[in-house]
Amino acid sequence: MSDEGTRTLVVHVPDWSVLAAEPGPSSPVAVVRANRVVAASMAARAAGVEVGIRRRRAQQRCPQVEVVEHDPGRDARAFEPLAAALDAVTPAVEVTRPGTLAFATRGPSRYFGGDEPLAVRVQWIVSGALGDRWPVRVGVADSAFAALLAAHDAHRRHEPTRVVPPGEAPAFLAPHPVGALLEALEVPDEVDVWRRLGLRTLGALAALPRPDVLARFGRPGVAAHRLACGLDPRPLAARRSAPDLAVATELDPPVDRVDRVAFAAKALADRLHDRLAVDGLGCT
């Protein structure tokens, strides 16, 4: 595990679960999981609906709010075309979660003339893929975590992009609260302890000696410490976008017997199997 980060670009679409639910253009929508709001449309937020509140409280604050159950599968299916839209920029991205993706900038940045032009281009592509109907934020920094927080910072500033200059990730991260680690790691207990100890910022956590963090908090603590220092705990799990695999046939004249339909369907299945085999894939 090297003590350096990877220059990374992160695309973040805020409240992706709302957009995936296909709300009306001005509908107040709240997406809930385990009876708590996990995403809210701009109209719902304007009426006082906040992430983290209970369903009943959301309905009290905004009686006309449409409550939608969280559906991870729906979120993932809706986000896949956005990842594919970036094929012209890079053939491999990591979909961190639906609504957020990342890729290393080294090659693309050189091709497009630097991080700033690359960020602008990517934001334009993804916004266009969404029909310019939802905010898209792009962050670039020396690690994936810093780039994610840069994208969040751009959203707070109502700006499309935020590029943290090379070498400045630790300084950029330092004032952020330790709770920001929950964007990337499942360390709620550790965050609570650090707050009680007075370590309320990433800078305060990063200032601790790593051996001391390991002795007290184990591997989860070390992973959090690396993020706070602007380092990547692991390489990006970049993948190529999935090809659109489909086969079709025309039945002319139309058939009226089940056995003939079954015969045609088997031929299609064989063709699809052959296409999967070309990509080293299979279907059972």
Round to whole Å and give the CA distance between 205 and 218.
Answer: 14
Taking CA atoms, 278 is separated from 87, 92, 245, 252, 283, in Å, by: 20, 19, 11, 29, 12
Round to whole Å and give the CA distance between 56 and 60.
Answer: 6
Residues 68/28, Cβ–Cβ less than 8 Å: no
DSSP states along 247-260: -----SSPP--HHH
Give the pair of three-digit tokens for residue 138: 């792009």
Q: What is the pLDDT of residues 165-197, one digit of tens each?
A: 999 999 999 999 999 999 899 899 999 999 999
Please report which residue ranges of the chain form alpha helices under DSSP H: 16-20, 42-46, 55-61, 72-85, 106-112, 115-129, 144-156, 169-173, 188-196, 202-206, 210-228, 258-278
Q: What is the CATH superfamily name and number for domain 1-15+72-242?
A: Reverse transcriptase/Diguanylate cyclase domain (3.30.70.270)
Taking CA atoms, 247 is separated from 43, 243, 264, 278, in Å, by: 41, 13, 11, 14
Round to whole Å and give the CA distance between 169 and 229.
Answer: 8
pLDDT band (50, 70, 90) for residue 283? low
* Mean pLDDT across the chain: 88
The confidence score (pLDDT) of residue 31 equals 94
Is the pTM of the predicted complex or chain greater than 0.85? no
> Tokens 């009876």 appear where?
35
Determine the average pLDDT of the residues in 271-281: 54
Q: What is the pLDDT of residues 40-56, one digit of tens each?
A: 998 999 999 999 999 99
> Which one, of 186, 160, 165, lies nearest residue 230 by Cα?
165
The confidence score (pLDDT) of residue 263 equals 75
The confidence score (pLDDT) of residue 266 equals 79
pLDDT band (50, 70, 90) for residue 26? confident
Peptide bond into 23 cis (omega under 30): no
Domain 22-70 has CATH 3.40.1350.10: no
8: helix, strand or coil: strand
**Lowest-pLDDT range of 26-30, 79-83, 86-90, 269-273:** 269-273
Round to whole Å and give the CA distance between 126 and 107.
Answer: 19
CA 25-39-226 angle, 5° bins: 130
